[in-house]
Amino acid sequence: EMQLVESGGGLIQPGGSLRLSCAASGFTVSSNYMSWVRQAPGKGLEWVSIIYSGGITYYADSVKGRFTISRDNSKNTLYLQMNSLRADDTAVYYCARDGYNSRVGAFDIWGQGTMVTVSS
């Protein structure tokens, strides 16, 4: 069964850093386009970042320069390093696989989500 399992969320003070992990099973992270999508409490979905199979990365303007997407092929795991966190970064963060190499992503597999709360 193909699955994504996230970890690393929690409560963090403004300005702090956090690294989210997304462990994949049943498929290879490095062979797929992988993204992070977030959802603030009571709000809609917001695309955050993508890493292509070739390693190229893109970010939403709201996180550019603060967040870094990466992967560890040996661990079959996707990461999101989040620095200079702000209150408006508070959200459930999902990792997701693009099942169809659809440029930016048609996400057929999602993790269960990990909550990040930025508050003093």
Residue 105 lies near another protein (rule: CB under 8 A): yes
Task: Please say which residue, 35 or 77, places its beta carbon nearer to another protein.
Answer: 35
Residue 8 lies near another protein (rule: CB under 8 A): no
Distance between CA atoms of residues 10 and 29, nearest Å: 24
Could you tell me which stretch among 14-22, 68-76, 81-89, 109-117 binds another protein (CB under 8 A)? Answer: 109-117
Task: Please say which residue, 29 or 63, places its beta carbon nearer to another protein.
Answer: 63
Residue 3 lies near another protein (rule: CB under 8 A): no
Could you tell me which stretch among 7-15, 21-29, 58-66, 76-84 binds another protein (CB under 8 A)? Answer: 58-66
Out of 22, 89, 111, 116, the only residue in the binding site for another protein (CB under 8 A) is 111
| First-to-final CA distance of the chain | 40
Q: Which of residues 27-46 bind another protein (CB under 8 A)?
A: 35, 37, 44-46
Residue 116 burial by CB count (10 A; 0-12/13-18/19+): exposed, middle or buried? buried
Out of 20, 77, 107, 114, the only residue in the binding site for another protein (CB under 8 A) is 107
Over the range 70-99, which residues count as b (16 or more CB within 10 Å of their CB) and which as e?
ebeeeebbbbbebeebeeebbbbbbbbbbe
